[in-house]
Structure 1
Amino acid sequence: MAKKLLAMVLGLTMMIGLAGCSAVDTGSGSNNKNADTQVSVSAELLDATKYKSDKEPADWTIAVVVKDGTSDWFKRMQVGVDEFGKEKTVDVIQKGPANADAASQVQLVEDMINQGVDALCIVPIDPGALESVLKKAMENGIVVISHEASDLKSTLYDVEAFTAEDFGNAMMQELAKAMGEKGQYAQMVAYTTSTTHMEYSNAEYKYQKENYPDMSLINDTVPSAESSEKVDTAYGKAKELLKANSELAGFTGAASVDILGEAQAVEELGLIDKVSIVGVGTPNATREYVKNGTINAVCLWDPASAGYAMCNLAYKVLSGDEIKDGIDLEQDGYDSVKIQEGVNRCVLGNAPLILNKDNIDDYDF
């Protein structure tokens, strides 16, 4: 599709009342003041067939804009992005703000639009804050593919390793096992505006209420704390929760930094044998804590595979390929994806990964 403003905007807009990639209610915890809730995206902009490029693949540029350009998680994602670029002989760029700031991420997207990239893969800090600028990208003929953004409207497809509900359920199962299915626990997310973090946490809570009656969430409120994607903040919030709640026996963490801060607090207070920790992380960052028993389980997907899959999906759209159930994005767990219609079109893989003492040394990233 040529880089030009789409000439016609149809009156039919994307329905936003359906379930997204997860059946979980993202809750009312969002305090986002930047979200543009008035943005609607026309059927014309969402027609993936309109984005077929008239250039050769070697002349394409695919940009990946992540939440944080400095974190281990997104450094691992870049491994997959770079691998894709080499294998397909396509120019790829990965950028991310240095401090997981939503306004900075919006500016990075603006920069990519101004550079005239052919496709933009986005992992939003705050999906609502990006709606307008991503719609602008699509109006300029740029393919937009997202990840961790099941309620983002301004995207052709949202790529997920699994449903947020299934992942949240898996984390609660691991926490319940570690806690002996009883006791109080706390939840941590990066921000309440982080869509998937809230979906994981709401799913955990719902699953706990239905399956583990002897467990309870501190203050019965999702989530218990926000880490702002910073280990030091996660540590401080975890320590505060532990000091204020003497019966606290477990933590979950939705951001990859959360369980690191929680582990620091638990070790400092001498509570390794009393408090269980389960959450998202990377093997290299959590290895010591897992092997000494401070962290019980690390739940994740491989961000390198997700980065590769996003780029490959953008490549297929630019190539004019039909996007349908069963397409192969050429990564383990994404070799026969499912398409689920909702707030957006979610491309679902089957790529969960649970690490513990027995298998963490099998992974190096």
Structure 2
Amino acid sequence: MTPMRLTAAATLLALAVAACGGTTKSSVTSAPAPAPASSSAAAEADPNAPLKEGLKLAFLPKQINNPYETIVDNAGIEAAKEYKGEAKEVGPSDASASSQISYINTLTQQGHDAILIAANDANAVCGPLQQARAKGIKVVSYDSDAAPECRDLFINQASSEEVGRSQVRLLADLIGKKGEIAILSATANATNQNTWITYMKDELTKPDYKDMKLVKVAYGDDDDQKSFTETQGLLQAYPNLKGIISPTTVGVSAAARYISGSKYKGKVVLTGLGTPNQMRQFVKDGTVEKFALWNPKDLGYLASYAAAALVSGQITGAQGETFKAGKLGERTIGAKGEVILGPPFTFEAANIDQFDF
């Protein structure tokens, strides 16, 4: 992939900050399911162990036609080449709760060293992931977590609390902390979205936002057309709506597309989580003033190195362990096996042309 043009701010972000085929591993052995990441692991980590060569990794996004997840996965696939491993992306074309299960089962049968998953539903994928772990396959969730007992690590793009609260703060500044607002989410079961929304709702209880009212949480199912239609529905149902937060790259770009060609342009504020290439035209035409995200390439890169470190025995997933993630430097595992990439970054007209992803 073409390297991202990084400014100094983006560099700080990266350092502080969706048809199964393939090979079958010949050395898969049957073993008891590994302990949850939050428990003390039976095996001891060897931080000085070299990364194994020839590792087989598979990225399983929420859906393969999600532009954001494609960026993440492609970066992880490229990262695997740095440590002489092989990685691929497989997954469903829809983001339903059960759509990933058959892919997990197939990857388990193929005997990959690690499965990296952005879970559509934290619990629906738990059983199949535990079966994979019982066969010695490491499981790393990224972007959207699986239940902690069903994976070894979670690579979180940013602190969930910071994402949720910062989205409210961003919108509040743009609407003068007054008016009715709505949230356009992805699927109703998306772990990351629901966690962020919980913190958004909590942030809104603070005195600073006493004049802001959340009137609706709508779901576009990470589908472009449904998100477009849901935006239209929100604006028609709530004529006094002042702002919309869409913490999903599919949703925010679809909402921007609708607003840009409607009478609501310049009247209803839209923000959320999007990629610069998706949102550039809407920032430049005045539909969106500011939005946020992290570097999705770094998220995939970090997930890839974390999986390699697990398989190679450098880490077990226990809190306090550290590992080296290539160009992103040393990372520390936090509580419940969570590794945080870094804080969100705000994009606007003054800086958006400095980014290409």
Bin for the TM-score computed over the shorter chain: 0.7 to 0.9
Q: Where does residue 211 of structure 2 map in the other structure?
A: 214
* Native 8 Å contact 1:76 1:303 kept in 2: yes
Residue type at the aligned position of 2:341: G
Structure 1 Cα separation of the partners of residues 277 and 354 of structure 2: 11
Q: Where does residue 225 of structure 1 map in the other structure?
A: 218
Q: Where does residue 184 of structure 1 map in the other structure?
A: 180
| Mapping of residues 1-80 of structure 1, within 5 Å | 3-7=28-32, 47=42, 49=44, 57-80=52-75
Q: CA deviation at 1:56?
A: 8.2
Residue type at the aligned position of 1:271: Y
Is residue 337 of structure 2 the alignment partner of residue 340 of structure 1?
A: no
Structure 1 Cα separation of the partners of residues 98 and 237 of structure 2: 34
Could you tell me the percent identity over the aligned residues?
23
Deviations 1:86-143 (A, max 9, x none): 2111011111212223333111111111111011111111121100000000001001
* Native 8 Å contact 1:259 1:295 kept in 2: no
Measured at CA, do residues 15 and 155 of structure 1 come closer, stay the same or move farther in structure 2, by a change above 3 Å?
Answer: closer
* Native 8 Å contact 2:184 2:219 kept in 1: yes
| Mapping of residues 80-159 of structure 1, within 5 Å | 80-147=75-142, 148-149=144-145, 151-159=147-155
Residue type at the aligned position of 1:218: V
Question: Which runs of structure 1 show a deviation greater than 3 angstroms over 4 or more consecutive aligned residues?
Answer: 13-16, 46-52, 322-328, 335-338
Of 259-268 and 298-307, more deviation after overlay is shown by: 259-268
Structure 1 Cα separation of the partners of residues 43 and 307 of structure 2: 10
* Native 8 Å contact 1:249 1:276 kept in 2: yes
Structure 1 Cα separation of the partners of residues 179 and 79 of structure 2: 45
Q: CA deviation at 1:301?
A: 1.6
Q: Report how many residues are paired.
A: 326
Structure 2 Cα separation of the partners of residues 55 and 170 of structure 1: 39
Residue type at the aligned position of 1:360: I
Structure 2 Cα separation of the partners of residues 125 and 316 of structure 1: 25
Q: CA deviation at 1:325?
A: 4.9
Is residue 181 of structure 2 the alignment partner of residue 173 of structure 1?
A: no
Counterpart selection for 2:326 from 326, 330, 337 = 330
Structure 2 Cα separation of the partners of residues 142 and 51 of structure 1: 18
- TM-score, reference length from structure 2: 0.84
Measured at CA, do residues 327 and 292 of structure 1 come closer, stay the same or move farther in structure 2, by a change above 3 Å?
Answer: same
| Unaligned stretches of 5+ residues in structure 1 | 17-42
Counterpart selection for 1:275 from 238, 246, 268 = 268
Structure 1 Cα separation of the partners of residues 238 and 67 of structure 2: 31
Structure 2 Cα separation of the partners of residues 194 and 48 of structure 1: 32
| Unaligned stretches of 5+ residues in structure 2 | 1-24
Q: CA deviation at 1:273?
A: 1.4
Q: Where does residue 346 of structure 2 map in the other structure?
A: 354
Q: CA deviation at 1:50?
A: 8.6
Counterpart selection for 2:309 from 294, 312, 316 = 316
Measured at CA, do residues 51 and 102 of structure 1 come closer, stay the same or move farther in structure 2, by a change above 3 Å?
Answer: farther
SS of 1:128's equivalent in the other structure is coil
Structure 1 Cα separation of the partners of residues 261 and 42 of structure 2: 54
